[in-house]
Amino acid sequence: MSCGRDGDLGGPTEKCGVVGASLAGRDAARPLYYSLYALQHRGQESAGIVTHDGFQQHDHVSMGLVGDAFTEADIDGLKGSAGIGHVRYPTAGSVDKSCAQPFTVSFKSGSLALSHNGNLVNSDEIRDELAGKGHAFTSDGDTEVIAHDLARNLLEEDLVRAVKRTMNRIHGSYSLAIMHDETVLGVRDPEGNRPLVIGEVEDGYVIASESSAIDTIDGELVRDVRPGELVVLRPDGEGYDTYQLVERDRPAHCFFEHVYFARPDSVIDDNLVYEVRRELGRKLWEESGIESDVVMPVPDSGRAFASGYAEAAQEDGSNVEFAEGLMKNRYVGRTFIMPTQDERERAVRLKLNPIKSTVEGRTVTIIDDSIVRGTTSTQLVRLLKDCGAEEVHMRIGAPPIIAPCYMGINMATREELIASDKSVEEIREAISADSLAYLSKEAIADALSVSQSDLCLGCVTGEYPYDIDDEETDRDVTRPVIDGASD
Ligand code: AMP
């Protein structure tokens, strides 16, 4: 979802985690709470749960981490065996409770609650149209637009048709957990941009952004929700029904989920993220391996890449040592969201400290998943050289990020992205590394066993799988026409 900013495309967008559950004879709040814990990496700004007890909704939405957002009493107060939850990603400078989710709305034919991961690119058009028809909006977020559109359609259609009608009007990325009265739904956009899975627990069914949330509550992953599919969890955990509401030829799965965002222990679109990252590390060695005394991950994001890289190097006869030479202070949050460059630089130093004996007098290769602004890599190269490294080589498990993400990941603006106007050699010079290499797009598609055209590679190609104002698209897409007439 995006919220509180100038239009959909101007400001940063957010990456979030969504969950939903329908259980037999026990309150859903506690398993939802645990599964939000498992998705904490997808959002640290706010957390919320909405449940339904058959008569009415109960909600608790609060700013902060999951562990801080709920007290025991809050969870006890969330009655009902059906519910949905949400964690929201932080954005620079924004601490706005009106953006926290799940978003709730009551209307003539019942109550609705919505959790959204992704970003719509045509929400302004729909908001204008609905506002013209008398809908009052409390935020400029796209989740509220989906909620109002669905509420309106539910006045005229049954649940499945109403969702279909809304899906035919919204354009962009969305994985949704929705609750209409006590029925929980999961919806994935027709391109399958953001992940969403179905899981089974002892006494019911769940949907979640990542399978690790299902593991946490002792459930089994059933499968991914298919692009364009609606999953309806039957009340009281009795099963689920699915409807393929929109067909598309080509999916556009976000490759960056596999590279950076998702937990390594999650399975997305049948791939264990950890194995994908190790394979990407192996390919990095094949494409641009360089001899050095030691190879080290940038923790935590570079870990699986570096172990795959080192393993492939050693299989090729290299004597390179694999070492954890950078120690991470686990109490420092993600540096990326620090509002100023100065704070970001300080935060890298707070977060990572080299083990001097591992690097002193040696040639070092460090491996990270991505370079965004270049702050981390510049600081790290300097740190390692200050610690006596003879040479510092940098290898990156993704192609250069040259363009912003409009589909739900909080990246930097185009101007802030170091690769948006610099060649690899210019970046190497800027970060003062002795050598620098990125992974190819081909290697990413290969590691995921898909064709490049089935991935969203917008941030590394500048061509997006949606119709985004002022940007190129990599396919034949038709943006829905919102003409003020109800369709
Ligand atoms: P930078 O210092 O701006 O070049 O950021 C690079 C670091 O940020 C890498 O260590 C990545 O693991 C991490 N990173 C990449 N994408 C994101 C993101 N969307 N949000 C937070 N951190 C990120």
pLDDT band at 330 (very low <50, low <70, confident <90, very high): confident
Q: How confident is the model at residue 334 (pLDDT cuts 50, 70, 90)?
A: low
Residue whose CB lies within 8 A of the most ligand 1 atoms, among 332, 348, 376, 415, for a mutation test: 376
Residue 35: predicted pLDDT: 98
Whether 334 and 402 map to the same domain: the answer is yes
pLDDT at 141: 87
State the pLDDT at residue 10. 33
Mutate which of 336, 349, 381, 460 for ligand 1? The one with the most ligand atoms within 8 Å of its CB, which is 336
One domain for residues 184 and 213: yes
Helix axes 424-431, 375-386, angle to 10 degrees: 50
> How do residues 184-230 score in pLDDT, each as one tens digit?
999 999 999 999 999 999 999 999 999 999 999 999 999 999 999 99
CA atoms of 430 and 382, how far apart (whole Å): 11
Are both 238 and 321 inside the same structural domain? no
User: In the listed set 191, 218, 252, which residue is the last one of a domain according to the structure?
Assistant: 252
Question: What does the DSSP 8-state code read for residue 20?
Answer: E
pLDDT over threshold 90, residue 12: no
Q: Which atom of ligand 1 is nearest to the CA of 418?
A: 4
- Digit-coded pLDDT (tens) for 394-426: 999 999 999 999 998 877 899 999 999 999 999
Question: What's 128's domain CATH number?
Answer: 3.60.20.10
* Mutation test residue for ligand 1: of 45, 256, 258, 260, the one with most atoms within 8 Å of CB: 260
Let me know if residue 259 belongs to a domain.
no
Residue 301 labelled as part of a binding site: yes
Closest C-alpha to ligand 1, atom 23: 336
pTM of the model: 0.94
Judgement on whether residues 176 and 278 belong to the same structural domain of the protein: no
- Does 377 carry a binding-site annotation? no
Domain count, the chain: 2
The Cα-based distances of 121 to 2, 227, 394, 445, 470 in angstroms read 10, 18, 35, 26, 12
Residue 222: which residues within 8 A CB-CB, separation 6 or more? 197, 198, 199, 200, 205
What is the CATH classification number for the domain harbouring 353? Answer: 3.40.50.2020
Q: Is the pLDDT score of 337 beyond 70?
A: no
Specify if 46 maps to a domain.
yes
- Assess whether 177 and 291 both reside in one domain: no
Query: Of all residues in the chain, what percent carry a pLDDT higher than 70?
Result: 93
Alpha carbon of 260 to ligand 1 centroid (Å): 8
Q: What is the pLDDT of residue 390?
A: 98
- The encoded tokens of residue 246 equal 């929109």
- Domain final residue, candidates 198, 217, 252: 252
Same domain, 202 and 279: no
387 is in an annotated binding site: no
Residue 241 sits in the same domain as residue 277: no
Q: 374, 422 in Cβ contact below 8 A?
A: no
Q: Which two tokens stand for residue 332?
A: 């420092």
| CA–CA distances in Å: residue 254 to residues 231, 262, 314, 408, 477 | 21, 11, 31, 10, 17
Mean pLDDT score, 239-255: 95
Ligand 1 centroid–CA 311 distance in Å is 25
Residue 108: the pLDDT is 87
Instruction: Give distance in angstroms: CA of 334 to centre of ligand 1.
Output: 8
Mean pLDDT along residues 224-245? 97
The Cα angle at residue 200 between residues 197 and 201, in degrees rounded to 5: 130
- The least confident of 159-168, 320-329, 331-340, 433-442 is 331-340
Q: What per-residue confidence (pLDDT) applies to 197?
A: 98
Query: Does 387 participate in catalysis according to the annotation?
Result: no
**Residue 324 is assigned to a structural domain of this protein:** yes
Nearest atom in ligand 1 to the alpha carbon of residue 405 is 19
Asked if 352 and 403 sit in the same domain, the reply is yes
- Catalytic residue (one of 3, 16, 99, 387): 16
pLDDT value for 14: 56
> What gap in Å lies between CA 262 and CA 42, rounded to an integer?
8
| 323 and 438 fall within a common domain | yes
Residue 368 has pLDDT above 90, yes or no: yes
pLDDT digits (tens, 9 = 90+) for 37-74: 999 999 988 999 999 999 999 999 999 999 999 999 99
Does 405 show up as a binding residue in the annotation?
A: yes
Torsion of CA 54, 232, 481, 4, to 10 degrees: 60
149 & 298 share domain: no
pLDDT surpassing 60 at residue 120? yes
Confidence grade of residue 457 (pLDDT, cut at 50, 70, 90): very high
Residues 88 and 110 sit within 8 Å (Cβ to Cβ): no
Percent of residues, the chain, with pLDDT higher than 90: 83
Q: Is the bond leading into 264 cis (omega within 30 degrees of zero)?
A: no
CA distances from 163 to 137, 168, 246, 259, 416 (A): 20, 9, 10, 31, 38
Ligand 1 centroid to residue 345 C-alpha, Å: 13
Among protein residues, the one whose CA lies closest to atom 13 of ligand 1: 370
When pLDDT is averaged across residues 428-449 and rounded to a whole number, the result is 98
268-291 core/surface letters (b: 16 or more CB in 10 A; e: else): bbebebbebbbbbbbbbbeebbbe
- Which residues form the domain of 392? 271-455
Looking at residues 365-385, what average pLDDT do you find?
A: 96
Residue 483's pLDDT is what? 72
Which protein residues touch ligand 1 with a CB less than 6 Å away? 260, 298, 301, 334, 336, 368-377, 409-411
Average pLDDT, the chain: 92
Looking at residue 5, its pLDDT comes to: 39
pLDDT (0 to 100) of residue 93? 40
Q: Which pLDDT tens digit goes with each residue over 68-102?
A: 999 999 999 999 999 999 999 865 445 567 778 99
Ligand 1, atom 15, residue with closest C-alpha: 370
One-letter amino acid for residue 266 of the chain: S
Please indicate, yes or no, whether residues 226 and 276 belong to a single structural domain of this protein.
no
Mean pLDDT of 149-178: 97
Rounded mean pLDDT of 457-482?
Answer: 95
Annotated binding-site residue? 3: no
pLDDT for 7:
32
* Residue 1 counted as domain residue: no
Which residues, other chains included, contact 423 with Cβ-Cβ below 8 Å and sequence gap of 6+?
none
Cα 47 to chain centroid distance, Å, stands at: 15
Q: 139 lies in a domain?
A: yes
Atom of ligand 1 nearest to the CA of 416: 3
Task: Please report where in the chains the tokens 């909600």 appear, as a residue.
Answer: 59
Q: Which amino acid is at 171?
A: H
